[in-house]
Each structure stands twice: as structure tokens, then as C-alpha cells.
Structure 1
Amino acid sequence: MNMMLRPLLIQIQSYLMQPRVWRLLGSASALIGLISYALSSSFSQLFGGWTLFKIFAYSIFSIIICLMILFAKLWQQLKGLSSEAHMAFFVLTITSVYSYFSDKEMKGKPDAYSVTSYAAFAVTSLSLQRQSESHFGFEVDLLYFFLGCVIVQFMKIDLWLGFVGIGFSYSLIILRSSLDAPAQNRHQRFHDQEHLVVEVSMNPLQVNNSISMLQEAPQTGLEAKHLPSMEERLWADLAVVNMLKCNLNNYLQDKVDRIPEVLVSDHNFLIDEIPSQVLIDLHVSVGTMIVTGLEKECVDQYCSWRREFVQLAEKELWTQEIDEKRRIKSWIKASNVSLKILFPNERRLCDRIFLGFPYLADFSFAQICNEFTTNLLDFANGFANGSHMLNLLPSVLQVFGLLHELIPEFESLFLDQFSVSLRTEAATTGRRLREAINGMFMQLEKLIKCDTSQAACPGGICPVTVEVMNHVNAVGEFGSSWLSAEVTRIIAMLESHLEAKSKHYSNPALGSVFLINNGRYIEKKAKQYQLDKILGNHWIRQRTAKVRENCEHYRRSSWEEVLGFLKLGMPNVEEAESMKKKLNLFNLRFKEIWMDQSAWFIHDEELKEEIIIPLGKIMSHTYGLFIWGFKSMLGRDADECIKYSVLDIDDLLKNLFSWRDE
């Protein structure tokens, strides 16, 4: 349970450390507090009933308060020491005057609006305190004032409800304390660093010795004193990479489709493997070297160490397979691990080591990740540079799909001026891959327009249908609306082409069989390739309905005329002769149709049964009634004219579409 909750708690904590979150929360809580107070009994008792002037004045006051809280950082930049003191005195005076008149005028128990307003104002005070490292100077006092008001309000409603107010106040104070802890730790580290710098600056001999030592060996000074040896560093990096591979074993071995979420959410996953004392020593060493003028040597040493680790991880994660499918799969895994685990950890490690020097942290991060990221993008660019060959469409779609999914990671990681080129290159590569896919869809369009192929059997599946559906099979796993539109357009063009080709058959029934076979093939492949994910179930149902419509066209064009010969008339001599002629025509036409259609083939067995079984029932029933009436009128003479029994008709129909491609 702790392992499951840990990522969630980390994520919540990371959100609560962002000033923007508190800025929005503070503005929202101030608005809620002002509205609640306007509706409360406290307001009416202190200021009387509402008038147009009061509504206008209170609205202006509320807007000013909300804007001040929303843009608190701007106000902080404008304030000086004197203005800070004046503002603190102003807030103290306002709260004191309000307390005096509130205690004097308030009668009766407060309502829920009053309690809500004080609680909201307490949250607003906390938000002001959380929005930046420098504060106005009165936020904590204001927080305690409103928390005290919350407790008093609850106690006035009911003495026992005071515990609710106490619980709310305690939770808010504990939240403030827990959120301030990291900032206090950072302040302490800065204090230690400043103390070290002051100590060095007060000892010129020590400074001269340090500078001389570092200048004599600029490439090894940091390593020799503060980093492990090359051999120790290599073994440490190997241990971390092996630990990473162990945690990702199921993903790398294709046993799961995604990286475990707990590894993605824990942004200190790899940093935790480095002893904390090493990180502290490195941070202090970095500060020392920078203030003594060895900034370049410091960055070079750090980047060299971390590049070696990233290169080692790249070698272990990205295996250069010979088979293209396996090579793409390896690239996908390496891209996912690097963008979701490796690079975020390097980003946070840079921020920790170069704490207080964000410029150098950004530069170092760009240097460390540049080569691996460039290699990943070069691989993707190789597919974008292809000759738009149709057989590459599944591969290009896979690469494009993964890159499209990782764009948010590129945008969040490579924000600074040194690595923004990597983000730009990722967007450019994605755009070029999309252009390549568009080119391949144009090739499919050309393939359909230039098609003159013939089906292997009469009315069978057209080769271009097979080729087009095989090429779009990789699209099903992507939910892009752009791809959906392209696939819909290509299949609609294919269907129009098939409709036109069906008209070339002299026998309309064979044209219907051609559309039945190709329509069912498109429908089945769309389901098999999960194109319904991007085209929708409605699109699939339309294809099914179209196939059944063509089945009905086939039945009418083939057998409606034959069934017309089996109509019964009034029992008389003239009708008996007419029935003989009808039966002879039926025998002749039935044989012709059956002989022709025995050379046709319905590729889908289920669909074949759906056509033949209902047709057999109708034909057997109609023919049976006709023969019964015919025998009733002619007696024994009827047997000479009857060529087929009812069972013969049924058996012959079951053998329709019996052609086989040997």
C-alpha cells in the first residue's frame, strides 16, 4: 500500500511546491471568502443591509483583493523595506479595528457563511506565504488571526464544534510547516555554502593554494578531490544501470506494454542510488569552484561524469538489432525510458548539484542529454527521409506514434535556452514523419486510381483491396483524428473504385458477388486491425449494412426471374399447359444459373451460409408448392415434366459458389 501511495504523495507534494498552484488557490479562496462574507449575518450586522452603493464598493474592493493575490509576485517586486513595514502596520490596524467592532456588534450565533469566509481567508493567507521565497511580512500573522476566528466562530455555534475549528487550524498549520521544511533545508545549505565561501575568502593562502592546485590539473581537480576515481565511477554507474534494467526487466523483455507507473512518478528514482553525502559534497565543491573562477572546469568535469553514465545506459537499453521490427521496438523502449526516467532524473540531479546556479544547471543538462537525444531523433529522421515506399508505412506509423506521444516530455524537459534546440528538432522530426505518412497515403491513392488487376476467381477479392487493407493495418492502434480522416478517405476511394469495377461484369449478379466479397474483406480486416478505434463502431456497422444490401441485390438479380416461373394460377386446362411451359422454363433457367454460379466463390463461409440457407428455404418452399399444384392438375402425367425434386433443388443450391483456387 505504501508503494502505491508513494507516487501519489510525491505528485501532490510537487504540485503544492509550485507557486502558480498557490496563486490560483489563493485567488479562488479569496473569492469564495468574499462572497461568503457578503452573504453572512456578520456583514449585515456590521454594515447593515445592501444598497447599490455598498454593492458597487464591495465589488470593487473584492476585485482589488483578488487581483492583488493573483499578482502577489509583482507587488513583492515593487515593495521595499519601508513599504513592507507600512503594509504590515496597515494589515495589523485593519484586523484590530475589525476585531473591536465585530466583538461589539455581533449578536447571536454566526452562520455557515461566516465560518466559510474565515476558513477561506485563512487559506488565502497561506497561499500568500507560499507564493515565493520573499514574503510581505504579515502572512503568517494573518493566517493565525483567521484560524483563531474560525475556532471562535465554531465555538459560538456550539462549544463542542470548537474541536472542528481546532482540527482545521491544526491541519493548515502542519501543512504550512511541512511545505516550509524543504525551503528551510535549502536555506541551510545556502548558509553553509556562504559560510564556506566567507571562510575561504578570509584565508588568502588557502584560496591561492586551491586555485593553484586546480589550475595545474584543471581536468582532474574536481575528480581527484570530490569524485570517485574513474574505475570507481564506472563500477558505480554500472550498478545504477543494472538496477535500472532490473526494475524495467518485464518491460524490456516484452512482458508488459508500459513502464511501471511507480518508476515514472518517482522523479528521484536514480538519484536515490547516489549517497546523499556525495550529493552534498558535490554541491559544496561546485560552489567553491565557481566562486574561485573555475566554472568551466567544474561543468566539464560534471558533464563528463554524467555523459559516461548516460552513454552506458544508452548502450544497455538500445540494442542495434538487424531485423527492422526488432530495431524499432528497441528504439521505442529506449526512447520511453530515456524521456520518462533517465532524463528527468538527470534534470533533477543537475538542479540539486548546481542549486543556486540555474544557468549552469541548464547548460549541464543540455550537454549531458544532447548526444543520446540526437541519436534517438536521427533514428526517427531516417524513416522521415525514406522514399515513401508503401511497405515502410507500418514502421513510419510506429515511429511517428511514439514520437507524438513523447512530445509533452520533450516540451517539459527541454525548456531552457541551451536545450530548446532539441525540443525544436523533435517537433521538426514529427512534422517530417507526418509529411512522409501523407506521401505514403498519396501512394495508396495512386495505387487505387491506376488499378487494372483482376480477381483470381470470378467476382473474387480484388488484389488492390488486399494491398490497401494490408497497408492501413498499422493505423488501428493510433487514435489520431488526422489518421482517421486519411484512412476514411482512402477506404471510401477504394469502395468507389470497386463499385466502378463491379459495373464491368456483364452479369449484374456477378457484380454483386464481387462487391460482397470485397466488402466483407474490408469489414473483417477493419475489425482485425482494430480500425474501429479510430473510425468508430458506426463506420463498421455501415460496412456490414452495405454487404447485406449487396446480398439482397444478388438474390434479386439472380433468382427473382426464376421464382416468377413458379407462380400458381386457377386450376383449368389452359393453366395446366401454362404450368408445363413455366416448369420447362424454370428447369432450363435454373440449370443455367446454377452452372454459372458454381464457378463463382464466396470467400467468407459464414456469409456464404447467410446467402444460401435463406435462398434455399424460399426456393424449396415455392418450388414445392408449385410441384404439388402441378401434380394435382396433371396427375401421373406430371412426373414426365418434373426434372428436379424439392431435395434436388435444396442440394444443388447448397453447392453454389463451389469454385476453388488450386
Structure 2
Amino acid sequence: MDHLGDEKNKQGVLSRGNSVENSECPTENLANLEENSEYPPQNSATGEEDLEGAEKLILKWDMASSESARQSMIFEGREEEAEDYLRMVDEVQKLMDSVSLSQDSVHKAQNLLQMAMVRLEEEFRNILEVHSEPLDPELVFNPASMRSSISRTSSEGFMYRESNSSDDDETEEEEEEVAASHPLTEGICEMDLIPQDVIPDLHRIAERMVSAGYVRECMQVYGSIRKSIVDDSLLRLGIEKLSIGDVQRLDWNILEGKIKKWIKAAKVCIRMLFASEKRLCEQIFEGISPVGETCFAELAKSATLQLFNFSEAIAISRRSPEKLFKILDLYECLSELLPDIEVIFSDEMCSHVKTQASEILTRLGEAARGIFTEFENAIQKETSKAAIPGGTVHPITRYVMNYINLVSDYKETLIKLIVNKPSQTSKFLPEGLMDSVEEYAAACDSCNRSLLSLHLIWVTVILQHNLEGKSKLYKDVSLSHLFMMNNVHYMVRKVKASDLRDLIGDGWLRKHSGKVKQCAITYQRATWIKVLSCLRDEGIHVSGSFSSGVSKTALKERFKSFNATFEEVHRCQATWIVPDAQLREELRISIEEKLLPAYRSFLGRFKNYLESERHSEMYIKYSPENLENAILDFFEGSPVSVHVRRGSH
């Protein structure tokens, strides 16, 4: 490395003024720094001699006049050399205030101090460059890597420290536990960005530069090097330099992955990177206020803007239901980080960071509320006219119930965000539908009747109303009842098996479980009354007949009618679907309990009248066992011929 740098830049430094007033400092308060480091007037008669001694040492390390000075660094050599150099700088500053020096000597002292500041600026830059490096994502994201790398990172400066720990005597074993647990979710965790043994050197150099009026130069060197490191760290952590427009132009599928990475990286940036940068500023510029605060504020300005641009772009992007959960993830992340942001950016110079974070959090909350309202409206407006084959669970039912099931995972956040009751605004809904929401809520004995609960109940109400409209698309009344049974049962099952139960309540469950049973009963009546009517005795007996009083012709017609009716039901309902295995089995058992006893009784009373007839199998086609087996075909969603199950009686 060429420690001298460009000769033109060196001359530029030599021409700089040595007063704070002549430097374009980022804050007015820096003008008062000189007062903090004034030296008492030097009245010693040996002032000229002291100046000669200082001149020899400063010229020795003058990069403009010495090749060896350009090839080596004072603070990389013996500690005594650095101490001597700093002492000479202090001596020159004292002599400049001495009344015993001649005008020529004062001018010489000024030149010597300028040379020393050029040298110290280069030393300051070198120490920072040599010992600064960006965060290693593998180290900060992987606790196992942290554990295996803790000795290496300690020598390089990456030692992690909990901000609330006051014990500096941690054993190596305890340090490994801190590293292994990794504080990404545990609050602020500071780290040594550069080795602690070089901090005193940087602090002493900064003191001299500020005292000599080189505040701006000191801050520029520090800011340029650390900004580059922070920018590189952000990039390695996955925080890209994207404008709000850039983010909004990306497909949502891509953004979902980026949001997940951003949340993970944001915790590292706030709790580790920015907290540690602040700590580093405080260490290097300790007692030199407000240089440390200003350096950190300038460093954080662009870095936090780059970090927060992403979440702000998501917050103000076009709203749609699929975005809700990622927006809630961002909201919860930022909400969790806000107390840490308040601590890390507590200085007035960093107030813009706190303001920006708070405003984005507010926008994310507004976006979440707006999206949930859009979701409710979308259910009301969904008016597809195609009947779902087989009467199975409608896609909208699956979508809505899975959606609100995920909503329940964010119940603590949404209970805070949902501040208004649901409203009935759609022309597709009948008046008074909202009354049922209050009815369910009043019957809810296990939930706290939060506004979120009311919204979730409202979603189920408008979903059920929507499904009732879709059930009318089926020409077969039995199938429409089966469709409602399937869909309401799916809703009940989803509520029972999730946190929705606590939010919606057992009152809702009881009513809708009853609705499932009612739909099943109505289906059976619509289907099986016609079948069972074939097994009645009416019309079979003949009054005053010479024979046994049974009309064989009527009996044959009755058996033929039963066979045809059952086969038609079998043909249709084998293609119908009951996707829930338990519900399907319960429905089959219920059918068997009604059909088989009636058929056995009918067969027992009249079978003997036809057994002696020719081709009796044309009438008595099925045994009870045949029917029982045939019922097993029902609700499987596949056409099956009942004839394959015909057997002996």
C-alpha cells in the first residue's frame, strides 16, 4: 500500500485552514471544539529549542520529504515512536500559543502542525482501512459458524457483546454461549467492528486533529471508510440499493423471497451493525462531542434510507389479498425493532431515522387493514357461475378458510390493527346479514369479542351466503344439499383445528355443526324418499283375490321400479364427492340404516311370491349385501356400474 497517496491531494491538505470556522463542518456545534483543548500559554525560554526538537521528529515522518516515511507507518511500529510523535504534536500546539516565539517561529510551528496533521490523517486512514472489514453473513446468520469462528473473529475484531451486559469478565465458555444463541431476536447486540487494541490510537489521533482544527478532515476520512464498509455489509446481508420504484416494479413472487431476506437482514442491521457503528463512534470520539454523534448520524443517513426504502415501497404498493401476510411480517419485524431504533438513534441528529421508521410502521398497518377489507369485499363480489362437479368443496371455501386460518396466526397484531367493525357494502348481500354477526358474537363464550373476531365471523357469514347462491347452480336438489354439507363441514373443520376457534367461538361452531347435520338430513330426504317409496306395501295387495291377496304383476313392477330407481341414484351419486373420509363414512352408514332394513323387510315379505316364477332374477336383482356393497361406491367421484356387484341372493 502506498501510504503517501496522490501528491496533489497532499498539497491540498497542506493548504487547508487550521480553524474550525474555516472547515465546512456538518454541524455548528463543532465550532466550539477548540475551546475544549486549549493549552496554557508557553512562556519558557526554551521554546525555540523545543520547536527545533519537534521539527526534527515531524520532518522525519514527513511523507513529502522522506521515502522511508512514505513506506512505513508510525502506529505500526514501536509504541514509543507513536508516543513521541504525539508528544511533539502537542508541543507544537502549545508553542503556537507561546508569547516567547518570534513571528518566524510561529509561522514555522504552523507549517509543522500542518505537516503533522497530514501525517496523522494518513495514519488515521491506514488504521481504519487495515482493521475494517464488512460483516460476514455466514458469521452473523449461522450460530454454528459463530461458535467455530469465535477465536478467529476475536482477533479480527468481531467479538459480540450484549448491550445490557455489564460483566467484562466473561469466560471463553460464556462467550461461546452468547455466540451460539445469536441475538437476532433478542435485542441489541454490539460487536467490536475493529480490534479494541487500536481504538486508543484512533482516539488520540482524532483528539489531535480536532484540537488543531482538522475536524472536517478527520470526519471525512472516518466517514468515507466506514460508509464503504457499511455499504458493503448491507449488500452482503442482502439489502440491495433499490429505489421505491425499483421495488414496486418487481413481481410479487420475487418480492416474497426478498421480504423474508429483508426481515432477517434488518434485525442484523439495526441490532448489530448500526448499534456497533454507534459504539465505535463513541469509542473513537469519546469526549470530542459532537464529532462522534455527527459521524454516526451522517453514516446512518444513507444506510437507513437504503434499508427502509424497501419496506416503505411494500407499504405503499398496490393492495391485494395475497400481500397481507408478508406485510404483517414486515409490520411485526419493524414493530419489534422500533424500541431498539429509539435507543440506537436516540440523538437529535438521528431523529429522522426514528421518524422514518415510525411512519413506515404506520403505513404498513394501514396497508394491512386496507388489504383485509379488500379481502372481505372480494368474497362479496365473487360471483362465478360454474357449478363444481360432484358437489365437492368449492375453491373459494378452501381459499377463504385457509386465508383466515393464516390470519389467526397474526391475531395479536391484527387485534391491535383492526379498529373498526365490518361493514356491509356489497349489493350482492341481502340487508340485515350483519345482524347474524352480532348474533354469533353474542353467543361466543370463549372469545373476547374483539373487532378482529367480528371481522372473521363476518367473513364466514358472507362466504356461506355466497355458497348458498352457488348451491342453486345444481339442477339436482340433492346435490345442492350435499354441496352445502361439504362446504360448511370444511369451514367447521378448519375452525376446530386452529386458533380460529378462540377467535370465532364455540357458539359459531355449534350452529354450523348443526348446519352440517341439517344439510345431510335434507340430502337424504331429497334422495331416498323416492327410493324407499318403492318398498311400500300399498298397491301390491289385491282385495278379494282368489289367490294369496298379492298381485304378482304389481309386485314385479314394484321390484323393477326399485331396481331402476336405486341404479339411477347409484349411477349419479357414485360420481358425487364427499372429500372428508369420516363424513363420507357417516353418510353411507346413515343411508344403510334407512335403506337396508326397509329392503330386508320388503324382500322377506314378498320374495317367496316370485321365486317360483320364470326369470325371477329380473325382478329380485339384489340381495341386501349387494346393496350394502353398492353403497360403498357412493361419493367417491368415479362412475361405477352397480351390475358388477350383483350376486346370489
Quickly name the TM-score band, shorter chain normalised.
0.5 to 0.7
Give the AA of the match of 1:648.
N
Distance in 1 between residues matched to 2:116 and 2:405, nearest whole Å: 60
User: Under a length normalisation based on structure 1, what TM-score does the superposition of the two structures give?
Assistant: 0.56
Once the two structures are TM-superposed, the CA of residue 654 in structure 1 deviates from its matched residue by 1.6
Q: Using a 3 Å threshold, how does the CA distance of structure 1 residues 196 and 511 change in structure 2: closer, same or farther?
A: farther
Once the two structures are TM-superposed, the CA of residue 489 in structure 1 deviates from its matched residue by 3.8
Q: How does 1:309-388 map to 2 (within 5 A)?
A: 309-318=229-238, 323-357=254-288, 359-388=290-319
SS at 2:389's partner residue? Answer: coil
1:403 paired to 2:294: no
| Equivalent position of 1:270 in the other structure | 191
Alpha-carbon contact 1:268-1:348 (below 8 Å) kept? no
1:428 paired to 2:359: yes
| Equivalent position of 2:131 in the other structure | 236
Once the two structures are TM-superposed, the CA of residue 622 in structure 1 deviates from its matched residue by 3.8
Once the two structures are TM-superposed, the CA of residue 618 in structure 1 deviates from its matched residue by 4.2
Deviations, residues 57-114 of structure 1 (Å, cap 9, x unaligned): xxxxxxxxxxxxxxxxxxxxxxxxxxxxxxxxxxxxxxxxxxxxxxxxxxxxxxxxxx
Deviations, residues 537-567 of structure 1 (Å, cap 9, x unaligned): 8599666665455334433443356457657
Q: 2:486 aligns with which of 494, 508, 517?
A: 517
Distance in 2 between residues matched to 1:225 and 1:312, nearest whole Å: 23
Deviations, residues 326-374 of structure 1 (Å, cap 9, x unaligned): 3223222211211222122222223333333564443332222222221
Once the two structures are TM-superposed, the CA of residue 314 in structure 1 deviates from its matched residue by 0.8
1:657 paired to 2:635: yes
SS at 1:418's partner residue? Answer: helix
Deviations, residues 469-493 of structure 1 (Å, cap 9, x unaligned): 5766764643422475555543442
SS at 1:419's partner residue? Answer: helix
Once the two structures are TM-superposed, the CA of residue 410 in structure 1 deviates from its matched residue by 2.5
Identity of aligned residues (%): 26
Greater relative contact order (CA < 8 Å, ≥ 6 in sequence): 2
Distance in 1 between residues matched to 2:501 and 2:122, nearest whole Å: 58
The two structures, once aligned, show a CA RMSD in angstroms of 4.8
Deviations, residues 273-332 of structure 1 (Å, cap 9, x unaligned): 533232223333444444444444433333333222211211211165994343223222
Alpha-carbon contact 1:620-1:649 (below 8 Å) kept? yes
Alpha-carbon contact 1:502-1:512 (below 8 Å) kept? yes
Q: How does 1:109-508 map to 2 (within 5 A)?
A: 203-205=94-96, 223-228=121-126, 233-234=128-129, 236-238=131-133, 241-242=135-136, 245-249=138-142, 261-264=181-184, 269-271=190-192, 274-318=194-238, 323-357=254-288, 359-453=290-384, 454-468=386-400, 475=407, 477-479=409-411, 480=413, 481=415, 482=417, 485=453, 488-503=457-472, 505=474, 507-508=476-477
| Equivalent position of 1:119 in the other structure | none
Alpha-carbon contact 1:502-1:514 (below 8 Å) kept? yes
Distance in 1 between residues matched to 2:208 and 2:509, nearest whole Å: 71
Deviations, residues 475-513 of structure 1 (Å, cap 9, x unaligned): 464342247555554344222311343345454432222
Alpha-carbon contact 1:410-1:423 (below 8 Å) kept? yes
Distance in 2 between residues matched to 1:338 and 1:576, nearest whole Å: 96
Alpha-carbon contact 2:471-2:480 (below 8 Å) kept? yes
SS at 1:455's partner residue? Answer: coil
Gaps of 5+ in 2: 1-85, 99-105, 147-177, 241-249, 419-451, 640-649
Q: Using a 3 Å threshold, how does the CA distance of structure 1 residues 199 and 640 change in structure 2: closer, same or farther?
A: closer
Alpha-carbon contact 1:505-1:511 (below 8 Å) kept? yes
Deviations, residues 199-234 of structure 1 (Å, cap 9, x unaligned): 76982339988976676797x6654234425xxx44
Deviations, residues 520-545 of structure 1 (Å, cap 9, x unaligned): 555677799x6649857859966666
Pairs aligned (count): 455
Q: Using a 3 Å threshold, how does the CA distance of structure 1 residues 376 and 636 change in structure 2: closer, same or farther?
A: farther
Distance in 1 between residues matched to 2:380 and 2:259, nearest whole Å: 32
Q: Using a 3 Å threshold, how does the CA distance of structure 1 residues 224 and 235 change in structure 2: closer, same or farther?
A: closer
Distance in 2 between residues matched to 1:252 and 1:495, nearest whole Å: 52
Alpha-carbon contact 1:523-1:544 (below 8 Å) kept? yes
| Equivalent position of 1:133 in the other structure | none
Gaps of 5+ in 1: 1-194
Q: Using a 3 Å threshold, how does the CA distance of structure 1 residues 593 and 572 change in structure 2: closer, same or farther?
A: closer
User: Under a length normalisation based on structure 2, what TM-score does the superposition of the two structures give?
Assistant: 0.57
Deviations, residues 118-156 of structure 1 (Å, cap 9, x unaligned): xxxxxxxxxxxxxxxxxxxxxxxxxxxxxxxxxxxxxxx
Q: Using a 3 Å threshold, how does the CA distance of structure 1 residues 487 and 213 change in structure 2: closer, same or farther?
A: farther
Alpha-carbon contact 1:354-1:360 (below 8 Å) kept? yes
Distance in 2 between residues matched to 1:259 and 1:442, nearest whole Å: 44
Q: Using a 3 Å threshold, how does the CA distance of structure 1 residues 489 and 609 change in structure 2: closer, same or farther?
A: same
Q: Using a 3 Å threshold, how does the CA distance of structure 1 residues 599 and 204 change in structure 2: closer, same or farther?
A: same
Q: 1:620 aligns with which of 593, 596, 602?
A: 596
| Equivalent position of 2:150 in the other structure | none
SS at 1:228's partner residue? Answer: helix
